Amino acid sequence: MATASPSVFLLMVNGQVESAQFPEYDDLYCKYCFVYGQDWAPTAGLEEGISQITSKSQDMRQVLVWNFPIDVTFKSTNPYGWPQIVLSVYGPDVFGNDVVRGYGAVHVPFSPGRHKRTIPMFVPESTSKMQKFTSWFTGRRPEYTDPKVVAQGEGREVTRVRSQGFVTLLFNVVTKDMRKLGYDTGPLDTQGVSWPSPPQGFPQ
């Protein structure tokens, strides 16, 4: 009896928001959420999360370490709208108010395996010196009402931003049934399971 061909494929993502470098700031925490197309739907895990507050390491690197876990599974019928993870980093200003210290986004890696990504972060800027002083004095810095706008193109060209900091992510990606639907994600082993290519110099 022939088995029915799959109508959807699965994308399983786990890993962690590992660390960040913000030389000018300390005591930061991170929020993440996923943005994806209309044909995608989460089937397990968490679409968003908020980390603990962390302080800089005491060595020369001055790294902020979160090691905050990510674990989510999506299903879809086509790759259009492939999920992106959006990061927002917050911390206290001189008055103790929580203000945004950086936004960033990156696509979930397309190929199965273990991946490391370093995301450059940015913050919106006030359009005038008066607005900049007022926002500093009141503790209300420019920020997006919905961080998901970071992963979209509309309206971004009219936003003034400034680069600030980096966040490092670790991804472990597994796909299921993509090849059966005609999508090539990597070489096959003898059982027909898709695996990442071994690094150069690694015995096959």
Beta strands 9-21; 29-35: pairing state: unpaired
Q: Which of 3-12, 42-51, 58-67, 96-105 has the lowest mean pLDDT?
A: 3-12
Q: Residue 168 pLDDT > 90, yes or no?
A: yes
**DSSP classification of residue 112:** S
- Domain positions in the chain: 9-181
pTM tops 0.85: no
Q: Which of 84-98, 103-117, 126-140 has the lowest mean pLDDT?
A: 126-140
Q: What is the mean pLDDT of residues 36-51?
A: 96
Q: Which CATH class is domain 9-181?
A: mainly beta
Distance between CA atoms of residues 123 and 139, nearest Å: 15
Q: Does 191 or 197 have the greater pLDDT score?
A: 197
Kindly list the strands in the beta sheet with 64-76, ordered across the sheet, starting from the edge strand earlier in the chain. Answer: 41-45, 64-76, 9-21, 161-176, 113-124, 98-107, 84-92, 29-35, 48-50
